[in-house]
Structure 1
Amino acid sequence: MKKQFKNLKATVLMTSALVLGSYSSLSMAQSSMQVQCPGYKPAKTKLLSERTGKKLNKAFEAYNQDLTKEAIDLLYEIEAKDPFDRASVDRFLGQLLISEDGKRAEAKDYLERAVKTKVLNDNDHAPLLKLVGDLEYEAGNYEVAMSWFDKWMDFTCKEDGLTYLKIAKSYIEMKQMEKVIAPADKAIALMDPPKEGAYSLKVQSYYERKMYNEAIDVMETAIHVFPDSDTWYTRLGLFYQITEQYQKALAMFELSYMQGFLTTATQHKQFAQLYAVNGIPHKAAEIVEKHIKSGLIPRDKDNLSSVANSLYQAREFKKAAVYFGEAAKVGNDPDLYRRQGSMLLSAGDYKGAVEALNKALVNNAENEGKVHYALIEAHFYLGDYKAAMLAANKAKTFRAIRKNADAWIPYIQTKATNKGIRI
């Protein structure tokens, strides 16, 4: 907000012209810039009384020597009775107080008093209308601020993109989302070069009202207006995802990725998720794996499991087993060793499966039956029929898998008999 008042010195210099007696010609020149209403004729220029002019001049000289506090003290002492004198002093004092810490509210009071009397010359009156609006906006008094912005536009017959942007933002802050669109559109039409803020406010308005397709229309336009911005590709991708347009969502994230716009762990995980949703699990695994290795995505149980699940979906069982094992170790989760064992079974590594499944039996009462059932297959295909039978007998003590475990027993017995092995 301070940037809005960075031209204070120039504004105060205009006041000095008034004080030094050359104000008349300056006032006429500025009036044509500040007020553009059809048929506008500037009012007769008013001048300060000699007594007030001298005191204002003294305050300005102090200010010009960077003695701002001394200038303010001199202005406090002026007792001007004439309405124009009083308004001129209040205007100068308000402008100086803006730059003082903790004095914005007091500055606003003086400036508001100066402009409400409507006795200042037009070129001074017009910018004060907007300045008071800016101060009210800064203070969070959005409805009051908008009334001042309206007064400025009515008085000057001018429109300003930044002012409309503040009006749109005010409606956002006031939770009047349906009123955001019109001023935001005005801001878009008037601002050159265009600013992303107005488009963002429209998206927020539509999002809050669950008007997702309208928000998408705004973002599709914004991408063409700001093709080098990192803001719109991922946002549009997320909105495509909300509306279940998963292929378009993935396309947006791919464009973001290629341009280096994905910078956070969350964004890369969202990107991977979209590959998975679109039936490309090997790419989902590749993205998360790459950025776990880079250190961007934390090497924790959830992220390692995510890679493992994607590899499983891609039928890369051996590699999936490695990641399930890492996840189990990092997270001290025995059931992930069970998942590792299942992957090794699918990969035909029965010895590795037995090793992983035995780890899965430790502190895993909830899934103990499933582990014993998986051990049946692992031991059977290793030719260890005694161990397979032992696993089957243990597995059938669990009601949920009793029938399946019982089905293995005659099969194991037959194989053992054919091999001449007594069990």
Structure 2
Amino acid sequence: MKNFKKLALFSALVMSGVIGPTMLSITPISDIGVAYAETKTKRVPALREKVYSQLARAQKLADDGDVQAGLEALDSIKDRASSMNSYEIAMMYNFYGFIYYNENNLAEAIESFELVVAEEGIPESLRLSTTFSLAQLAMANADYNKVSQYLDSWDKINNKPIPESYYTLRGQVHYQLKEYKKALGYINSVISISESKGDIPKENWLVLQRALHYSLNQPAEVVLVLEKMVNLYNKPNYWIQLAGMYGETGEEQKQLAIFEAADQQGFVRSRSEHMQLAQVYMFNGLTYKAAKVLQRGQKSQVVENNAKNNSFIAEAFVQAREEERAIPYFEKASDQSEHGNFDQRLAEVYINLEQYDEAADAARSALDKGDLTFEANAYVALGMAQYNLTNFDASILAFEQAEKHKKSSRLAKQWIKYVKKEKLHADTLKQALL
């Protein structure tokens, strides 16, 4: 009898989220026209050429873009179902399922393939592959309990080696059902099987394994998986995630090393990644590098030019003893804020640089703006600037205002005493010179 071409009924079904691509497949149809197809357990009626040609016509109409005509052709075949054997009926529903699947109508596709496996007179290979495909379709349709039911049915009829896709699908559905320990068992199994054969684990397996360890609050295991992902797949986000996990597990030196290595490869790209690296530098006392990272981010317009970021850069430069570099960033932050806190910090920086006129101006600006977190500090800065400008009376007035604040009271009293003494000394010297 004439052999007809094999039909590959499905290509790939790509699932969302942490779930990677999964292939749907149905056993191809071949050797159509023989009276019976042999299986290990039973004889199966053949798909007659006349019926096949009608089914193929329906499929061609759908493939050519006229889906409605294809479905109508199948409907006309179904009207004559009483003259068809169980295998032919099953293959008719198989074609229905194929068309619905291509139209992304998963509910109708599932219903059609359920009718395929409901028929008794079909090859066990077809029943097996269609049942597995039903599980995959249910996964795509987010019907997770159904997935488990289909896989349980598949378990009962399978007598062949278990494919990798079985383990991953089991892992995926248990993950979605928040049964993380069960899911991890399946994913660990498929990874172990793959590695035992000398193969590289698939990336989406490791992604799911990492997510499961994270969900189970197993940070050390998350680190191990990410280390493997970095070595095998070398993607920017894996480097950044590994650095973050080193921070969570208290391995700050490894965190710094991984983050710097990622940066050297150009993997630090987003705003959050720039901020994370800057904070890691700050934590490790590399304050100049912290400032430079955000400077670079602002230059590339990844990091916003706003008060928060400008003050971060300024403070990093101050801690790096680069006060001159801090000044323009405190000035920017001040211009971008209604409160006077950044003017107060600017006044303190100017005092450190012995630029007392500028310090006095910045302190007054801080007090004029108001809404200060530590108002006393602005008065202290003003008092110190005025003292160094030998404006003793103005200095004493500023320290008297600072004295009203509990936290700075003791310091202010000491300064008042000292400035009064210096004023007396200056006045005495001045009288002596007259």
TM-score normalized by the length of structure 2: 0.83
| CA positional deviation for 1:238 | 0.9
**Contact 1:300 / 1:331 at 8 angstroms: preserved in 2?**
no
Aligned to 1:398: 405
1:286 is aligned to 2:292? yes
Tell me which of 328, 340, 347 is aligned to 1:334.
340
| CA positional deviation for 1:417 | 3.2
Tell me which of 187, 192, 214 is aligned to 2:190.
187
Amino acid aligned to 1:405: A
| CA positional deviation for 1:42 | 7.3
1:300 is aligned to 2:303? no
| CA positional deviation for 1:265 | 0.6
Aligned to 1:263: 269
In structure 1, C-alpha distance between the alignment counterparts of 2:22 and 2:34, rounded to whole Å = 21
Q: How does 1:318-397 map to 2 (within 5 A)?
A: 318-364=324-370, 366=372, 367-397=374-404
| CA positional deviation for 1:356 | 0.8
**Contact 1:126 / 1:156 at 8 angstroms: preserved in 2?**
no
| CA positional deviation for 1:115 | 1.2
In structure 2, C-alpha distance between the alignment counterparts of 1:58 and 1:410, rounded to whole Å = 107
Amino acid aligned to 1:413: K
**Contact 1:256 / 1:262 at 8 angstroms: preserved in 2?**
yes
Aligned to 2:18: none
Give secondary structure in 1 for the equivalent of 2:214: helix
In structure 1, C-alpha distance between the alignment counterparts of 2:300 and 2:92, rounded to whole Å = 63
| CA positional deviation for 1:136 | 1.0
**Contact 1:63 / 1:70 at 8 angstroms: preserved in 2?**
no
Aligned to 1:4: 13
Structure-2 change in CA distance of 1:295 and 1:7 (3 Å): closer
Tell me which of 398, 405, 417 is aligned to 1:410.
417
Structure-2 change in CA distance of 1:162 and 1:261 (3 Å): farther
| CA positional deviation for 1:213 | 0.8
Q: How does 1:21-60 map to 2 (within 5 A)?
A: 21=33, 41=40, 43-48=42-47, 54-60=50-56
Measured against aligned partners, the alpha-carbon deviations of 1:288-336 in whole angstroms (never above 9, x if no partner) come to: 1221222110011111111122222222223223322221211222111
Measured against aligned partners, the alpha-carbon deviations of 1:174-222 in whole angstroms (never above 9, x if no partner) come to: 1111112122123334495632211121111111121111111211222
Aligned to 2:171: 168
Give secondary structure in 2 for the equivalent of 1:348: coil
> What RMSD in Å do the two structures reach over aligned CA positions?
3.1
In structure 2, C-alpha distance between the alignment counterparts of 1:161 and 1:376, rounded to whole Å = 75
In structure 1, C-alpha distance between the alignment counterparts of 2:273 and 2:340, rounded to whole Å = 30
Amino acid aligned to 2:171: A
TM-score normalized by the length of structure 1: 0.85
Runs of 4+ in structure 1 off by over 3 angstroms are: 5-12, 14-18, 41-45, 149-154, 189-194, 365-368, 397-400, 420-423
Identity across the alignment (%): 22
1:116 is aligned to 2:118? yes
Structure-2 change in CA distance of 1:223 and 1:187 (3 Å): same
Amino acid aligned to 2:136: D
- Shifted more, 245-254 versus 55-64: the winner is 55-64
Tell me which of 50, 56, 61 is aligned to 2:57.
61
**Contact 2:256 / 2:281 at 8 angstroms: preserved in 1?**
yes
| CA positional deviation for 1:59 | 3.4
| CA positional deviation for 1:266 | 0.4
Aligned to 2:134: 132
Measured against aligned partners, the alpha-carbon deviations of 1:111-137 in whole angstroms (never above 9, x if no partner) come to: 112113342124433321222111111
In structure 2, C-alpha distance between the alignment counterparts of 1:23 and 1:301, rounded to whole Å = 82
1:80 is aligned to 2:76? no
**Runs of 5+ consecutive residues of structure 1 not aligned to the other structure:** 32-40
In structure 2, C-alpha distance between the alignment counterparts of 1:349 and 1:420, rounded to whole Å = 25
In structure 2, C-alpha distance between the alignment counterparts of 1:89 and 1:190, rounded to whole Å = 38
In structure 1, C-alpha distance between the alignment counterparts of 2:142 and 2:22, rounded to whole Å = 22
Give secondary structure in 1 for the equivalent of 2:103: coil
Report how many aligned residue pairs link the two structures: 402
**Runs of 5+ consecutive residues of structure 2 not aligned to the other structure:** 1-9, 15-20
**Contact 2:399 / 2:416 at 8 angstroms: preserved in 1?**
yes
In structure 1, C-alpha distance between the alignment counterparts of 2:131 and 2:120, rounded to whole Å = 10
Structure-2 change in CA distance of 1:94 and 1:294 (3 Å): closer
**Contact 1:180 / 1:201 at 8 angstroms: preserved in 2?**
no
Structure-2 change in CA distance of 1:371 and 1:327 (3 Å): same
**Contact 1:265 / 1:296 at 8 angstroms: preserved in 2?**
yes
